[in-house]
């Protein structure tokens, strides 16, 4: 049942894509002359990975979270020292010291796990916020490129094949790079 539903969805997507391509190929009446529609393809994940704005966002996140990451590493090193001390059979520690050391080790281990979980959650929230901005910027750049270069249709996801002549991904990436340079020189 699920497989049939999934196949039905794929078939619907393929039909819509073919319909869109057929409509795009129909000659458009333009007063005295007829012109064919312009179609473009763009690889959005590639743009998001390569856009300088995304690279800058990654750098900001690394800089912002580096101190916490270093602190976590210090705690891990401290835990490793305590564990090594606890497991060292050559040390003749009194039983009370072993119990205290064991309790201290387990407490530090729990604190590290909580800190790591908090760190990952906060980093993911920040990443999502930063890359949401980048996605919006990329989508705006695609729309602007389409309008500026008089494209009738620019498609992305669900495309099974796109000829190199209609792939506008690199041209839009160039636009993003130029916009980033313009903003940097303005600052």
Question: In this structure, are 115 and 158 located in the same domain?
Answer: yes
Question: In this structure, are 118 and 153 located in the same domain?
Answer: yes
Q: What's the confidence (pLDDT) of residue 31?
A: 41
Q: Is the pTM of this model over 0.85?
A: no
Q: What's the confidence (pLDDT) of residue 140?
A: 93
Question: In this structure, are 3 and 32 located in the same domain?
Answer: yes
Residue 153 placed within a domain: yes
Q: Which long-range contacts (CB under 8 A, 24 or more apart) does 114-122 make?
A: 115/71, 115/72, 115/75, 116/72, 119/65, 119/68, 119/69, 119/72, 122/65
Number of structural domains (the chain) is 2
3-7, 31-35, 45-49 — which one is most confidently predicted on average? Answer: 45-49
CA distance 123 to 75: 19
164: containing domain = 41-76+108-186
Rounded to the nearest angstrom, the gap between the alpha carbon of residue 20 and the centroid of all alpha carbons in its chain is 28
Write out 35-92 in H/E/C secondary structure: ECCCEEECCHHHHHHHCHHHHHHHHHHHHHHHHHHHHHHHHHHHHHHHHHHHHCCCCC
Contact indicator for 146, 34 with CB cutoff of 8 Å: no
What digits encode the pLDDT tens for the residues 94-117?
888 888 888 999 999 999 999 999
Residue 112 placed within a domain: yes
Residue 164 placed within a domain: yes
Q: What's the confidence (pLDDT) of residue 15?
A: 57
Place of tokens 């989508």: 139
Rounded to the nearest angstrom, the gap between the alpha carbon of residue 81 and the centroid of all alpha carbons in its chain is 37
Q: What's the confidence (pLDDT) of residue 120?
A: 94
Question: In this structure, are 48 and 60 located in the same domain?
Answer: yes
Q: What's the confidence (pLDDT) of residue 36?
A: 73
Buried b (16+ CB within 10 A) or exposed e, 112-149: eeeeeeeeeeebeeeeeebbeebeebbeebbeebbeee
**What's the token pair of residue 8?**
């039905």
Where residue 31 falls (left for φ over 0; alpha for ψ -120 to 50; beta otherwise) is: left
How many residues belong to the chain? 187
Provide the mean pLDDT of the chain.
81
In 3D, which of 38, 77, 49 has the Cα closest to residue 134?
49
Question: In this structure, are 124 and 33 located in the same domain?
Answer: no
């Amino acid at each position: 049942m699920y497989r049939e539903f999934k196949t039905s969805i794929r078939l619907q997507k393929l039909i819509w894509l073919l319909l869109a391509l057929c409509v795009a190929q129909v000659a458009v009446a333009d007063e005295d002359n007829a012109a064919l529609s312009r179609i473009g393809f763009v690889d959005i994940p590639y743009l998001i990975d390569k856009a300088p704005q995304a690279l800058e966002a990654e750098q900001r996140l690394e800089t912002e979270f580096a101190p916490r990451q270093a602190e976590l590493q210090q705690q891990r090193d401290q835990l490793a020292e305590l564990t090594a001390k606890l497991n060292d059979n050559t040390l003749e520690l009194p039983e009370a010291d072993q119990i205290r050391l064991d309790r201290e080790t387990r407490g530090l281990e729990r604190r590290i796990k909580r800190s790591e979980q908090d760190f990952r959650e906060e980093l993911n929230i920040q990443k999502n916020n930063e890359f949401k901005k980048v996605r919006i910027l990329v989508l705006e750049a695609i729309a602007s490129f389409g309008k500026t270069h008089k494209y009738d249709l620019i498609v992305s996801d669900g495309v099974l094949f796109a000829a190199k002549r209609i792939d506008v991904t690199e041209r839009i990436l160039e636009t993003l790079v130029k916009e980033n340079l313009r903003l940097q020189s303005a600052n």
